[in-house]
Amino acid sequence: MTTIATEKTEAERAASPAAGVKAAGMPSSADSRSADAHSAGTGAVLRPAPSATPAQPASAPKHAPAETPKPAPSDPEASGAARTQAAPPPAFYTKDLSVFYGEKQAIKHVSMAFPDRQVVALIGPSGCGKSTFLRSLNRMNDLIPGASIQGEIWIGGQNICDSKTDVVRLRQKIGMVWQRPNPFHKSIYENVAFGPRYHGVKSKAALDQLVEECLRKTALWDEVKDRLHQSGLALSGGQQQRLCIARSIAVKPDILLMDEPASALDPVSTAKVEELIAELKQDYTIVIVTHNMHQAARVSDKTAFFFLGDLVEYDETNKIFTNPSRKSTDDYISGRFG
């Protein structure tokens, strides 16, 4: 995999919208087979990790990491500890993250922290890089020919951009739910049991218990308990999406990434998925991409507005939707562009 060295100059970076956000003291700022295996938290058909660590910028950015990167709790900038001593450490954070497709830079120097067991919504016009950013968080962009990453993503004291990262384990810990429900061509039971079995759960009793637990957590158990051995594809679209969420949580992830998980669903199914997100955040840190501003306002604790690959503004959801700091955020949420 080629890493494209197209770093911005300091002057260019200072002129970018995200730079203003940082200055204001904000948190500084497939193929279907692969996607399916990943969705089960196995990463079974995934390519190996790239062989090189991300290239270091020619000139260190203002928020360059310390020479020996520290785990999340001791990183004041990313954790927000500089602002609030008692702020809990984030579940994970990115530092100066850039993503390229060939020479095209789709994500530009994004630094942001994701609070533990909260929901963060990523919003912005089509093509601004939301999915690219989301996929980079569990190295799914590794699967795209020509894609490369610079910068850091710190989870549990580990920079997952490091070439030593076990991507199979990583994708077990960081689950993904796609826009279109993509159950396996297997039974409802097997959809949920597949990931745990792959990761070594052999006992039928343990699998039975896990399947029931995950289907209960996704509010699907009562609807499917009498037909567990029917095809997952025989469910409605909304049920299929909840089955995919059940499949994701079956491998006990810490973080769930959701790319427009309700955009293909009817309003009733959408409401169920939103209720589910509210439930799941008790146990998981969730990042959700959505084009639905009402949905972002309803489900998220914090919202990040992206534009042309820049993180323009990132703040409490209430603040973003009532009193955003940046005009472009205001224009976007008011429907004046995008």
Note whether 243 binds ligand ATP by CB under 6 A. Answer: no
Q: 172 Cβ partners below 8 Å, 6+ apart?
A: 41, 42, 43, 195, 199, 251, 252, 253
Q: Which two tokens stand for residue 266?
A: 């009817």
Question: Of the listed pieces 128-136, 152-160, 271-279, 280-288, which binds Mg ion according to CB under 5 A?
Answer: 128-136
Our CB check for ligand ATP shows the closer of 106 and 228 to be 106
Instruction: List the x/- string, 108-147, binding to ligand ATP by CB under 6 A.
Output: ----------------x-xxxxxxx-----------x---
Our CB check for ligand ATP shows the closer of 53 and 292 to be 292
Binding partner at 221 among Mg ion, ligand ATP, none, C-beta below 5 to 8 Å by kind: none
Around Cβ 202, how many Cβ atoms within 10 Å? 8
Closest distance of CB 306 from ligand ATP, Å: 7
Note whether 261 binds ligand ATP by CB under 6 A. Answer: no
Which whole-number Å values give the CA distances from 338 to 153, 176, 179, 318, in the listed order? 28, 25, 19, 21
Task: Report how many residues bind ligand ATP under the rule CB under 6 A.
Answer: 11
Our CB check for Mg ion shows the closer of 192 and 304 to be 304
Closest distance of CB 106 from ligand ATP, Å: 4
The residues pairing with 155 across neighbouring beta strands, listed in sequence order, are 92, 158
Q: Which of 4, 53, 62, 101 binds ligand ATP (CB under 6 A)?
A: 101
Taking each continuous run of H as one helix and of E as one strand, the counts in the chain are: 14, 10
Half-sphere exposure of 249 (CA within 13 A, CB side): 26
Contact at 8 Å (CB) between 173 and 249?
Answer: no
Note whether 131 binds Mg ion by CB under 5 A. Answer: yes
Q: Kindly report the backbone phi and psi dihedral angles of residue 267, in degrees, each rounded to the nearest multiple of 5, phi listed first.
A: -60, -35
Closest distance of CB 124 from ligand ATP, Å: 6
* Residues forming the site for Mg ion (CB under 5 A): 131
